[in-house]
Structure 1
Amino acid sequence: MLRGMARPTLTLAALATAAVSGLEITSAQRHSRGSHGDYDAVDLQSADGRRLLVRVPNSVSAETEQSADLVALRALTTGVRGRLDFRVPTYIGQVPFSGTRAIVSDLIPGDVYSADELTRDADVADAVGRAIAAIHSLPTAFVGEAGLPQASAADSRTAALALIGRAADTGRLPAALVRRWENATDDDALWQFPALVINGGLSADSFLIEGDRVSGVIGWAGLAVGDPAKDLHWLLGARGANAEVALAAYTSARSGGIDRLIAQRALLYGELELVKWLLHGIDARDSAIVDDAVSMLDGLVEGVHAEHVSPLSPETGPIMTVNDVERMLDRTPRESARRDPGAHLLTDSYDQSEFERYREGEAAGPDADATGPIALDLTGFGDSSAPSGTSEPDADTDATTPDQDARNSDSS
């Protein structure tokens, strides 16, 4: 059984020395936001001046996530990382422990902020937008070489349909939402986009901030080729004054151009998070989660007909804005998972909630079609007649050169 009392700091420090040959630790302190986190974690200072982090998962789901993160970090070779202007965690070593394993990585300095706080300062918002664009501009070849998921535009559409269909079969989805979402998946224009490298699980918690720059991006378990809109729906829900600054920076920094309807799909994905929450409650046989999800879905129906709604596409008509969806998501029982501003990620007993871990996997091949540049005014995203533009950049074979050290390390 993975979950239990928090492991002592000295125990985790000792595990780190067992995982990393020759490691000498001069200090160790716990990284924790409480006793109910997904990981026990300790911040280490080594004799050679390195800052390291050792983490042990406290649940099966956290262990699964940690394994997926390791696979992704190994796929992010030196060549690929060289295309990014921020740091990605580096795997250092591991050791079996108590039915699971302790993982040691480097500790990237930086503070974690909420989505609202990230978009409160224009310079920070700009840096976040450019960081997302850098991820989406990576060559796709290394993802397939690492055996990570690849989903074309058609695959993404099929996955959304399957999710809606499964939820509709429960009999708990309002008919109005089923019709609206099915109309969205029927809108061919909405699903004409290039499949790109995506983090697959981006949220405000993913970004480490130093001053006004992004010092690191962590949490790569969802690394894949897929729909770039999946990395944006959290940003469209930010209530900071500079959310559009982040979107403008993303647009200008993206090589190859982006599709005009990316915002509509991001809005759709934001709403479908409620569907995932409902299905999680049903799978877990947790009536409280199910009731909460149903309540939020009912609120979404009301928002569909409210005066402040915005269009998803000409075919589907108005839906609730991501801002409203995010406000409802805030009501889900995940308050213990929220990170305090100023805390480090890749820390702690890090409390990523069941809701955010409940993500569907995708697999297929990348789609090469591309469309034209985006317009930043979100009210203008309803034009499904957007022209096509430049295509996705070709893969750079130099950037996908395998990192031999990582490939020779233990398998995840």
Structure 2
Amino acid sequence: MARTPLTLAALSTAAVSGLDVIRTREHTTGQHGDYDAAVLSARDGRELIVRVPRTQAAETEQAADLIALAALSSGVRSRLPFDVPMVEGQAPFEGTRAVVYDFLAGAPLELGRVYGDVAVAAGNAVAAIHSLPTGFVLDAGLPQQSAEEAQRAIMAIVDRAQATGSLPAALRNRWYTAATDQSLWRFAPTVINGALSSDSLLVDGPSVRAIIGWSALSIGDPARDLAWVMGAQPDAAEAVFAAYGAARQAPADPRLQQRALLHAELDLARWLLHGHDLHDQAIIADAEAMLDQLVERVHQGGVDRLDQATGQVLDAAQVEQLLAQTPGGAPAGDHSAGLAPVEDENVDDQRSASSDDE
């Protein structure tokens, strides 16, 4: 049962000593309903937000987010050109906990608004994350993943998706060939948000004011944080990548865009696996339908090849249709190997052939 804003306001006063709430309103982003949340106006002029998990997955995510936000010290935050949530307090409630954060200004970035100065600001924001020193992540005991480990993790996702019997053979071939191409995985791991999506970026006009959702903070493949960009219009996506490249004080990564595309496509596989993990037939059917749409676009040449160092990105309508229903990131998450040509089977034949491709 959803908690009312008044209940959440009462919880916030238990979480934050001396807090005097004078006004409250329900807060929703229209996403997956994993949290009950309310925005609070305090007598001292502060605006806060209180969130209570509704699912075990949300509780786990919240716990990881708290660890990450604690690792993001004031010194680390000073290196970022945007705000990061501050935890004001927490209180136990019904076997979970209510957490109160400062409320950050800005609206979630819509993919259709990724152009011009917004695209540049988005590229700069991601570059700032990736330019952070890795020491604070290591000191906090947060995950770290080498390029080789990232490659193996991708291969594991493809193998698990294949084992469901729902992965079209053309996608299995496309992804597995990319996953096994050594040239695709020659990158320097960086600090990454790890679950970045367009909804994570809160914008105000042309500026990225804040980034929320840090539960997957780690050291890993920078392309993961750019997978969401593949849903923008091609010119806008190119502008984001150009701004990102100009802002990074590091050698160019010629395969960055292709790995970002691979991560974006694999969000469909992750959604499929999520459905199987929950034994949820509705999620499984949804994922299968989106995989079928993607494989049709592959056959029609409507999706960029993963073995090209440059090229067009996914059309916005295509990605929104395929990926808008997948968990964020979530979830999060942003591949240019020498790939073999994709087999030209029909979609109905591909699932039955999935076990024959090993």
1:126-175 Cα deviation digits (max 9, x unpaired): 11110010001001111111111100100100000111111112222222
Larger mean CA deviation between 51-60 and 302-311 belongs to 302-311
Cα separation, 2, equivalents of 1:235 and 1:110? 19
Which residue of the other structure, out of 309, 314, 319, is the alignment partner of 1:326?
319
Cα separation, 2, equivalents of 1:36 and 1:359? 14
Partner residue, 2:355? none
Cα separation, 2, equivalents of 1:230 and 1:132? 11
The RMSD of aligned alpha carbons is 2.7
Pairwise CA distance, 1:35: 11
Partner residue, 2:60? 64
Cα separation, 2, equivalents of 1:254 and 1:178? 33
Structure 2 CA distance for partners of 1:8 and 1:293, relative to 1, 3 Å? closer
**Structure 1 letter corresponding to 2:96:** T
Larger mean CA deviation between 250-259 and 42-51 belongs to 42-51
| Secondary structure in structure 2 of the residue aligned to 1:52 | strand
Which residue of the other structure, out of 272, 276, 279, is the alignment partner of 1:278?
272
| Count of residue pairs brought into register by the alignment | 337
Which residue of the other structure, out of 13, 26, 30, is the alignment partner of 1:30?
26
With the length of structure 2 as denominator, give the TM-score of the two structures: 0.86
Contact 2:184–2:336 (8 Å) recurs in 1: no
Pairwise CA distance, 1:382: 5.9
Mark the runs of 5 or more structure 2 residues left unpaired by the alignment: 339-358
Residue correspondence of structure 1 range 164-243 to structure 2 within 5 A: 164-239=158-233, 242-243=236-237
Pairwise CA distance, 1:31: 1.6
Partner residue, 1:100? 96
Cα separation, 2, equivalents of 1:50 and 1:311? 49
Larger mean CA deviation between 86-95 and 237-246 belongs to 237-246
With the length of structure 1 as denominator, give the TM-score of the two structures: 0.75
Cα separation, 2, equivalents of 1:28 and 1:309? 46
Pairwise CA distance, 1:255: 1.5
Matched, 1:41 2:34: no
Residue correspondence of structure 1 range 298-377 to structure 2 within 5 A: 298-313=292-307, 321=314, 323=316, 326-330=319-323, 332=325, 353=327, 356-357=329-330
| Secondary structure in structure 1 of the residue aligned to 2:283 | helix
**Structure 2 letter corresponding to 1:67:** A
Partner residue, 1:343? none
Matched, 1:153 2:147: yes
Higher RCO (CA-CA < 8 Å; seq separation 6+): 1
Structure 2 CA distance for partners of 1:10 and 1:323, relative to 1, 3 Å? closer
Cα separation, 1, equivalents of 2:106 and 2:43? 22
Cα separation, 1, equivalents of 2:227 and 2:30? 28
Which residue of the other structure, out of 110, 116, 122, is the alignment partner of 2:112?
116
Pairwise CA distance, 1:92: 0.9
**Structure 2 letter corresponding to 1:90:** M
Q: Percent identity?
A: 49
Cα separation, 2, equivalents of 1:62 and 1:288? 20
Mark the runs of 5 or more structure 1 residues left unpaired by the alignment: 335-352, 361-380, 385-412
